[in-house]
Structure 1
């Protein structure tokens, strides 16, 4: 019996699973960069448009609303502008962070490109961090440029409590980024995303003390405002610039941290299950 040549002695090897450690940092970075490049390519729509919108808000309120209330040039107008400016900066964070993650996932589902992301060696934790990170980056970028524009044209925005500005600004960007992820996963068409934005995010944003102090409201509506989680984000962020708040800042710190933790757990469970993105 003749021996087979060594070249024919083939043995099957079992592919080894690649290990990444705690996180696949390269994959996470790639997804994050993809999310950032996605909104950066259409910068006039995603960055410049909300900044111009906030500047128009400020112009309308100062030149029209303030005048109808009998507030002319001088201290009253200056106080109104100083109060309103941080709220508009926070509004930029809230609207743009949620819009980024929700539209990214929704577009991927509609075009089928979400499958390319799901096929990568990324865990559901890394998917969550990538989408949330991209959304938070857009919200913070819009807020930063808005703050510069408002400082140039209306009033200087100088933090007096830097920790509050950073904490509530980042917390808001992360919170709305997670809400955007959940909205994008849940929605099956863009009309449903519009429902979330128009009937949930915008009402909560506008009725959270962005344009007014809640102390001017009747007691019942003050209580309702205190049940709005976005109120604590805006109030705490404004506290960072003015050094005074309508509510309890420490309650806002604890509440926003708890909400973000709960939302993160929900996002992880939804992405792990593959609900409406793998079917």
Structure 2
């Protein structure tokens, strides 16, 4: 247990020491998306009845940012350790595989939640209502970050260099997040893309998270 706590603390300190890059930068990126898309499309798109497009965007951007940064946290930490050679100091101590995995995944969840909270704070003045179902919000935030943090561990173990990790991000994580209903309701899609969305796990994370705020979703949160 002590080894798990030490590794978990080390991972928290690692990203928090550069919080301007690991937390503030993703929050600023999400704010830019919010400013641009809400300005261009707010009078042309209504995703849910009674919900402005500006408000509709916020939960999706928050969940997208959480997912991307949870993945980045665990994957980048592992690949950096492998390239610099200090991963040997993680493998020598008597840590079980479960402790090793849990420390990286939980640290990824913490970073994801920190980024998500920052996005919600800086975009709240666009008109985000208080959550209709706060427990759903919390559940989908934690589980979504956990899933992507786990995927980040897999990617970090698999990749041997940054190029391979970048390919993982560019050809898997990026398409999954941008085709997940962040900027639109999937009910507006043609049948083919509507069906594709239903095999995208990130869509269910975002849709369930959005349901927690508005009480409306493209699919039931119980299915998500």
- TM-score interval, normalised by the smaller of the two chains: over 0.9
Note the C-alpha offset of 1:241: 0.2
In the other structure, the counterpart of 1:198 is: 170
- Structure with larger Rg: 1
Whether contact under 8 Å (1:62, 1:77) holds in the other structure is no
Which whole-Å deviations, capped at 9, do the CAs of 1:25-60 have from their partners, x for residues lacking one?
A: x11111111001000111111010000000000000
| 1:158 partnered with 2:130 | yes
Which whole-Å deviations, capped at 9, do the CAs of 1:156-203 have from their partners, x for residues lacking one?
A: 341111121111110101000000000001001101111111110111
In the other structure, the counterpart of 1:142 is: 115
Whether contact under 8 Å (1:158, 1:241) holds in the other structure is yes
Note the C-alpha offset of 1:146: 1.1
Whether contact under 8 Å (2:45, 2:53) holds in the other structure is no
Whether contact under 8 Å (1:40, 1:46) holds in the other structure is yes
Q: Tell me, in whole angstroms, the C-alpha distance in 1 between the residues paired with 2:45 and 2:58.
A: 20
RMSD of aligned alpha carbons: 1.7
After TM superposition, the structure 1 = structure 2 runs for residues 6-21 of structure 1, keeping only pairs within 5 Å, are none
Distance 1:242 1:70, change over 3 A: closer
Secondary structure of 2:180 counterpart: coil
Of structures 1 and 2, the one scoring higher in RCO (CA 8 A, sep 6+) is: 2
Q: Tell me, in whole angstroms, the C-alpha distance in 2 between the residues paired with 1:115 and 1:232.
A: 37
Q: Tell me, in whole angstroms, the C-alpha distance in 2 between the residues paired with 1:48 and 1:100.
A: 14
In the other structure, the counterpart of 1:89 is: 62
| 1:50 partnered with 2:22 | no
Secondary structure of 2:52 counterpart: helix
In the other structure, the counterpart of 2:106 is: 133
Which whole-Å deviations, capped at 9, do the CAs of 1:206-242 have from their partners, x for residues lacking one?
A: 1010100011111221111111111110000000000
Distance 1:181 1:79, change over 3 A: same
Q: Tell me, in whole angstroms, the C-alpha distance in 2 between the residues paired with 1:64 and 1:78.
A: 17
| 1:177 partnered with 2:153 | no
Q: Which sections of structure 2, spanning at least 5 residues, go unmatched?
A: none
After TM superposition, the structure 1 = structure 2 runs for residues 6-45 of structure 1, keeping only pairs within 5 Å, are 24=1, 26-45=2-21
Q: Tell me, in whole angstroms, the C-alpha distance in 2 between the residues paired with 1:224 and 1:157.
A: 30
Which whole-Å deviations, capped at 9, do the CAs of 1:111-132 have from their partners, x for residues lacking one?
A: 1111101111211110000010
- Following TM superposition, the consecutive aligned residue runs of length 4 or more in structure 1 with deviations greater than 4 angstroms are none
Q: Which sections of structure 1, spanning at least 5 residues, go unmatched?
A: 1-23, 253-279
